[in-house]
Amino acid sequence: MKFNAKDLALLARRPSGYFDKEGKLKICRVVGDEKLIEPRERWCRLKGNLLFLMKNKSSEVSEVVILERCWVVEFRSKTDVSIVLKFQSGEPDLYLEAASKPDCESWAVALGEANSEGLQNKIQQLRRLIMEIKEERSSDEARQFLPSSQVDSLGEPQFTSIQRIANEPKLEFSLACKDLVAATRDRKLNTFIQVSVVHPAEHILTRYSSTEIVEGTRDPLFLTGVTFPPEYPIYEETKIKLTVYDVKDKSQDTVRTSVLPDHKEPRADVGRSFLGCTTFRVGDLVKSKEQQLTLTLRTSDGGKTVGTIEVNLVKMGELEDGETDHITTDAQDQKCALVRECTATEGISGKDNLPSLNAVLKNPICKLYRFPTSDNKWMRIREQMAETTLSFHVPKELINLHIKEDMRRNQELKDLGELAPHWDNMRKSVIAHCDQMLSMYQDTLAELGKHTGSSFKSSCSKGEKTLEFIPINLHLQRMHVHSPRLKDALYDVITVGAPAAHFQGFKNGGLRKLLSKFEAERRNTGYQCIYYSPENTAKAKEVLSNINHLQPLISSHADLLLNSASQHSPDSLKNSLKMLSEKTELFVHAFKDQLVRSALLALYTARPGCVLKKPAVPRNSAEEGGDVQHQDHPSHIKRQDSIPHHSEYDEEEWDRVWANVGKSLNCVIAMVDRLLEKDNVSNSKEGEKDPSAADCKVLHAGGDWYEQLYPLVITLKDCMGEVVTRAKQSMAFVLLQELACGLPQCLMLTLRRDIVFSQALAGLVCGFIIKLHTGLHDQGFLQQLHTVGLLVQYEGLLSTYSEEAGMLEDMAVGISDLQKVMFKVIEAKSEDFLPIITGRREHYVIEVQLPAKMFELLPQEIKEGKLLRMYPVLFNVGINEQQTLAERFGDTTLQENINQENLELLKEYYKLFTEKMPPDCLPHFQEQNDLKGLLENLHQNIQAKKRKNVEIMWLAATICRKLNGVRFTCCKSAKDRTSMSVTLEQCSILRDEHQLHKDFFIRALDCMRRGQIVHDAESGFSPKGGGGSPPTVPVAARSKYLRKAPTQQQEVCNDHKLVVSIFPSLTTAFISEPGFRAQKNFLQV
């Protein structure tokens, strides 16, 4: 072979990092079994297929060996540290002796891969792959040369679908390897499998998922399976590539394959090495008789076999064959014989609820696991995380209601009429500020209307003003458990970032502190305005709401009464009168309040040139809005304008005005009774004499009825209109005082409260709809829903230090405000199943729409429109290092007060539950614990005031599940702390409720935390800051952040840019220590 000696010498002197491998070896030539000379130490450098031999590292190259048409002979004895290079040309063999056995083995691998024959095998393998792709593409390329008519007849590429059940994953399978070959004979492998997909239409290799790492065995059984969601584009023609890697140092590995570009293989220097790979068609697995494939793993050049891999098709809930498959491994944590045997299961959710549920959930991501039970059976767990369209739908509906409510309020302020200069200037200032706030709400709604892309708000967007009404990372976290001898079970947790006004910041605290401070300042406003307590302002808003609701109803029923009279229909007349009476009585009682009377007097004093019979000034007091002493008044005065101007004001005039409505109604009732009585008498007499004369009498009487009722109905409407005008103006004057006493803080606090409430409400609506769909066939739950109400338990993980204390204050107020929310279930009249929101700030009604078939399953009380109450409770325990600072150097009173207050609310719900519900309504498989005992235990733990007492969280969560409640888990951004809590809770449920094998608890926890996808990870960590996911490959795009394993030395908490130390020894506490104490040890810093 010709070569340039100078170029080779220059190449040999390149820096060390340039070479594939270098080091000291003893080298000599060998003929047969005899060494020509004693081995001499040489510095060897390997680059490509060139082996440079040098006397030392700094000397000139003395010999170059070209690795062509040669092979490596490795001696397999434990003591031998030498290898021999044999050449086909017949030249003497090259003997190489290393300093140690590992060094010898690594040189053998490097020289074998550098051989030109090995490189040629790789090239041939790549050529075969290219030819396969070209053959598959040939049919598509040929279409370009066909006439258009033939192309149309061919249509789109036809792929065979494998969808089996609607809304169920398209494909699920489990993996196991056998007889893996390590590069070193004595090395125990730590392996995982990377799963990639080759789409038949695009021919692009896409990384999809990976299994957990199984340590110390050549026959790994992977507990993490592979699942493809319903909308994933996978067909029988799709190819799946399985690549097996050996992880050299698990403690430094975080399964970083998911963040590599799709065309890049992980480098060996990041703690892992490539073992082998294989590919199979999905159709081969689906159509296989045993629904199992055994594939051969080969090296990248396709020449060497390194083991086999078993792919088993999984069908959740289907009965498997009677044969059992005992799997025993030599790994320490796999020494349990596992029996693959499942029982038949009842369907958890039918097909009828899919349209309405799909309208709420979006882009589900699934994970599949198989864990052994204590009796050596398999249980299967499907974990699903889904976005919800309610993240944007609910805030937009809510902002729209705010805009309408504020526009009505502004108009009512303008309709107050003429005011004295001081009050008029105050009104102008209030309206100007309210108009600015209204414009801001309108701009926010317009910006949200332009939003496209993902249906959730990522953590990196929590500070954006246009998205401040949107909850952070709102997702459904569902665990579906199919275990032997037990019914299938669903466990749902809603994960969401703490409802808080992040854009406004927490420099001055959160809502809890700000509202208290604002109320104290309002009491000292002096002469500028009149102080009304929060209860009175809330009452004023309620009165205005009743007016707007009842007035049109009364007018409508009055018109129906006249219509019945004109038609001379006695039955219709009675029904119309009954409805009119009920609504009018509600209307009259709505104004029987001292607040209205005192507000009318206050408004009159604000008129220019007002004159009182006896001077009276509303007291600046919290008692009934400044009531005044009563005095004698004339018994009768002439009818005046709605609010008297420049004349004496009679304080009893209001009593007469609203009482006139009741008197007018009594006149209408008396007239109807008289007409019906006369009609009965005349009909009985005239009918006996002459039927035709009776018919004429009916026609004449119809006219008489209408003529006699009409003036009374008009009087009723006039009286009602006078009451409405006065009441509206007086209540608007109360709201004017509320706004004027605290401008602009009042409006800013209202905005902050609206923001926090919007985030909390979106989560609540999502949780209610999911719970309703899940419990649709549970009659006990439905009875509890309309009899008692729904318990909604929030688990907070915020610290009471720095900004997170302000977030906790916001969150506490926002969750408390959810008590104002009522739910109503209605039958959907169209294909739009999104909920409808009505009401005002102090009272909202959420109308949840169900398809007709689902609606028929509901109890009669719910179908008739009974409002369903919510009972939200919040328990918070800070668990991060900031909470350590708060406990040692700060204050934890806020957390203690919140937990104590919500414990009382939980006790009230439990008391109501026990009074109204029979005991058999509790889930039968959870009756081993006494609820009363759990509540007492929770009370003791809250009173104990221990540091980071996570027993509070576990007790509250257990009580919530036993009371058929909805579970929420929240931290700052619903990422790190939330994910750690959710996975720990899921594994605890598997252990306590489904007999998870005790030796597999930590491994199950490790699987879920390594394989659990946090949905907002890409947007939270990617510099692009997108947050969206490709429509065809949602999993690959969103699997860039994986939950960390408990054995990992450090957990990077990206939401607060601090490092939390996690001690691996604490993971053993789950087995060695019983109950909640062990779980507490893990979460403590």
Query: What's the CA gap between 589 and 591, in Å, rounded?
Result: 5
| Burial class of 992 by CB neighbour count within 10 A (0 to 12, 13 to 18, 19+) | middle
H/E stretch holding 491: strand 489-497
Q: Which backbone phi and psi does 611 adopt, to 5 degrees?
A: -130, 125
Inter-residue contact 211 to 267 (CB < 8 Å): no
Inter-residue contact 499 to 760 (CB < 8 Å): yes
Inter-residue contact 737 to 530 (CB < 8 Å): yes
Strand, coil or helix: 808: helix
Query: What's the CA gap between 531 and 625, in Å, rounded?
Result: 7
Q: Mention every residue, 6+ apart, whose C-beta is less than 8 A from residue 936.
A: none
Inter-residue contact 823 to 843 (CB < 8 Å): no
Alpha helix (H) ranges present in 342-471? 354-358, 390-414, 421-449
Query: What's the CA gap between 185 and 105, in Å, rounded?
Result: 9
Query: What's the CA gap between 781 and 967, in Å, rounded?
Result: 15
Residue in the structure block whose two tokens are 């990372």: 473
Q: Look at phi and psi of residue 48 and say left if phi exceeds 0, alpha if psi is from -120 to 50, else beta.
A: left
H/E stretch holding 598: helix 594-605
Read off the tokens for 720.
């009602």
Read off the tokens for 840.
């005002």
The residue among 200, 248, 756, 221 whose CA lies nearest residue 499 is: 756
Which member of 434, 971, 1007, 1053 is catalytic? 971
Inter-residue contact 807 to 973 (CB < 8 Å): no
Q: How many CB atoms lie within 10 A of CB 987?
A: 26
Integer angstrom CA distances of residue 1045 from 603, 807, 990? 66, 28, 18
Amino acid at 657: V
| Burial class of 289 by CB neighbour count within 10 A (0 to 12, 13 to 18, 19+) | exposed
Inter-residue contact 965 to 790 (CB < 8 Å): yes
Inter-residue contact 380 to 996 (CB < 8 Å): no
- Catalytic site residue 971? yes
Query: What's the CA gap between 189 and 579, in Å, rounded?
Result: 80
The residue among 877, 930, 933, 882 whose CA lies nearest residue 902 is: 877
Query: What's the CA gap between 980 and 966, in Å, rounded?
Result: 19
**So which residues are the catalytic ones?**
971
